[in-house]
Amino acid sequence: MPKNDASRHRAPMRGAEQIQQYCLAGNATITLLSQKTGQRFTYRFRKKEQTSGNPVWFIGLLAGPDNQSSYKYIGYVAGPQHRLQWSRKSCAGQDAPSWRALLWFWRSITETAAIPPMLEVWHEGKCGRCGRALTVPLSIERGIGPECWEIIGGAIEPARMAAE
């Protein structure tokens, strides 16, 4: 575990639905850790409301030592099915391990509602919506603080059917 995490309640997350909810909460940071290779990648999911009413989540890849400012754009999530999209502005190519790990993870939790085998998914000890430090065990398990949990309704919105 990196040494700057001593004061934070980082925690591995369980449950694909819970992980998806956390990632889409608005201001979430996850680390994917392969138990097979030891390789890890950290991503930030930032929600942006669009004027159309359909939000987009821009995803940054942690690319340097500074946990706050060294995120580089790698892709986005959009649409009623929360599909992950690569674009030409992505900092990593479609063959890059950082992109492939994210795609593999995201497809697994959104399409099969399962966490891939041999993969750990960690949050960074901060609320996935507002960024405040998590202190209560239940909040640490969810990755979302009690107030934000109320606001987001404690569950993923059911995917809107393809009316749009």
The β-bridge relationship of strands 119-123 and 27-34 is antiparallel
Cβ closest to Zn ion, residue 33 vs residue 148: 148
Cβ closest to Zn ion, residue 30 vs residue 101: 30
Cβ closest to Zn ion, residue 63 vs residue 130: 130
* Closest separation in Å from C-beta 132 to Zn ion: 5
Q: What b/e sequence results for 124-137 when a residue is b if at least 16 CB atoms lie within 10 Å of its CB, and e otherwise? A: bbbbbbeeeebeee
Helix (H, G, I), strand (E, B) or coil at 103: helix
* Closest separation in Å from C-beta 16 to Zn ion: 21
Helix (H, G, I), strand (E, B) or coil at 128: coil
Pick the closest to residue 119 from 37, 45, 61 (CA basis).
37
Contacts 24+ apart (CB under 8 A), 62-66: 63/91
The β-bridge relationship of strands 56-62 and 71-78 is antiparallel
Pick the closest to residue 32 from 100, 84, 110 (CA basis).
100
* Closest separation in Å from C-beta 47 to Zn ion: 13
Cβ closest to Zn ion, residue 22 vs residue 43: 22
Cβ closest to Zn ion, residue 22 vs residue 122: 22
* Closest separation in Å from C-beta 25 to Zn ion: 8
* Closest separation in Å from C-beta 146 to Zn ion: 8
Residues that bind Zn ion (CB under 5 A): 127, 129-130, 145, 148
